[in-house]
Structure 1
Amino acid sequence: MWVETSKTKSEFRNYITKKRNELSLTEKSEKDNAIYEAIINSGLFIKAKMIFIYISFGNEVDTHKIIEKALSLGKEVCVPKVISRLKGMRALKINSLNNLKVSDYGVLEPEDNSEEVFVKDMNLAIIPGLVFDLKGGRIGYGGGFYDRFFSNTNIDITKIALAYQFQILEELPLEDHDVSINNIITENGFNKVK
C-alpha cells in the first residue's frame, strides 16, 4: 500500500489511474459484480427512495447496472449534470439510461429539461472518486464539482464511494473544502469509515 502523504493529489491520481487501467476486462467485471451485489443488498440501498448516483465511464466501477436495478425496483434516481466549471453541477432525475447524451466532459448526462432534485430530497448519494482513505478522505478528478455540490447544503446525507480495494490508501492530503464520505464499497464489501 502506497502511503506517502508528502505526495500531491495529482501524484495520487496518476498512481491510481494507472493501476485501474491495468485491470483486465475479466478482473474488472468480477470486481464490478461483487460491488454491485454489496450495494444492492445493503440496507442503505434497500431503504433509499431517492438515490443520487454518478453514471460511470471508462474504467470507473460500473454503475449502469446499479441504476437499472434501482429503477426496476421503482426507486427514483438522479444523476449529475455539469453546468460549467463556474456554476458547478445539478442533480437531474432520470427514468432510463436510454435518454442520455454524451457531455463535453465525455460522460453520459440527462437533457437540460429533466427535473432537478435537491440534496434535501435524496436518501443516498453514490459518488465517484479516484483515491480514498478510511478517514472519509476522497480525491476526485480535480474539478471540485462534488465538493461544491455537497458543501452548498447543511443536509447530512449518507455518501458512499464505489471503488476497487487498491483505491483505498492509508492517508490522503486533504483540504478543508474536500467533502468526506461515510462508506466505501469495494469488491471486498463495506469499508467503514472512521
Structure 2
Amino acid sequence: MSPIDREKQNAALAAHVAAAASGLSVVAAYLPVGSEPGTVEMLDALATRGVQVLLPVARHDAMGTPTSLSWGQYQPGELMDAHFGLREPAPPVFGPAALAHAELVFVPALAVDRRGNRLGRGAGFYDRSLRFAAASVALIAPLYVGEILDDIPAGPHDVPVTQALTADGLVTFG
C-alpha cells in the first residue's frame, strides 16, 4: 500500500474510531507499530474528548514468557521508550485487571478472518490479556481494507475479536 493510501485509510479510520468511542469513558487501545493501522493522533483525539485511553505495557516473566498486559493511561506527548522497540505510557502502570474498566477494546491485528480470528505478532500478549476484559465489551481490530480474510488458523488459546474496523466501516462477526 502506498503511503498516500495508508494516510487516507488512517484518516477514515480516525473518524470511525471517534464514532465508535463516542459517549464512552474508558477505551483500551494500542500504539501502532510499523505499518499497523492507526496513528497517535487518533489517541490524541480520544484523550482531548475526555476519554481515558488505556495503553498496553508488555513484559516477560523471569523465564522469558510473555505475561498478561498491564495498562497505563495515555497522556498526549508523554510516551516512553520501552522493551521490544515499543513505546508505552508513563507510570503509573496498572495491572491486567485494569482492562475490566474498558468499555471498548481496540486490538492490534495484521489480519482477521470472518469468524473474528486474529493474526497477531505471535507472542500471545493479547490472547493472555483479553480474558480480563468484561465479557460484553466489543473487541475491535482496526484494519486496512483487504485485511479481512476468509480463514486464519486459530488454536484453543486464541481469543477472537467481535468486530473489525476499516476505512469502509465496522464489520461484525458471529
Per the TM superposition, whether the score is higher than 0.5 is yes
Structure 2: any 5+ residue segments left out of the alignment?
none
Query: For the Cα contact (< 8 Å) 1:80–1:92, is it kept in 2?
Result: yes
CA–CA separation in structure 1 for the residues paired with 2:10 and 2:121: 20
Percent identical: 22
Q: Are 1:146 and 2:126 matched, yes or no?
A: yes
CA–CA separation in structure 2 for the residues paired with 1:27 and 1:93: 30
Query: For the Cα contact (< 8 Å) 1:134–1:191, is it kept in 2?
Result: no
Match of 1:175 among 147, 155, 161: 155
Q: Are 1:164 and 2:112 matched, yes or no?
A: no
Structure 2 counterpart of 1:87, one-letter code: T
Equivalence for 1:137: 117
Compared CA separation, residues 153 and 59, structure 1 to 2 (3 A)? closer
Structure 1: any 5+ residue segments left out of the alignment?
1-22
Equivalence for 2:28: 52
Matches within 5 A, 1:1-194: 23-42=1-20, 45-84=21-60, 85-96=65-76, 98-115=77-94, 118-152=98-132, 155-194=135-174
Query: For the Cα contact (< 8 Å) 2:109–2:118, is it kept in 1?
Result: yes
Instruction: Return the offset for 1:154.
Output: 6.1
CA–CA separation in structure 2 for the residues paired with 1:109 and 1:78: 10
Compared CA separation, residues 67 and 153, structure 1 to 2 (3 A)? closer
Task: Find runs of 4+ consecutive structure 1 residues off by over 3 angstroms.
Answer: 114-117, 152-156
CA RMSD of aligned residues (A): 1.7
Compared CA separation, residues 83 and 111, structure 1 to 2 (3 A)? farther
Equivalence for 1:16: none
TM-score by length of 1: 0.80
Whose Rg is larger? 1
Residues 25-58 of structure 1: CA deviation (Å, up to 9, x unaligned) = 101001111111122123xx11321000001121
CA–CA separation in structure 1 for the residues paired with 2:132 and 2:100: 11
CA–CA separation in structure 2 for the residues paired with 1:47 and 1:136: 25
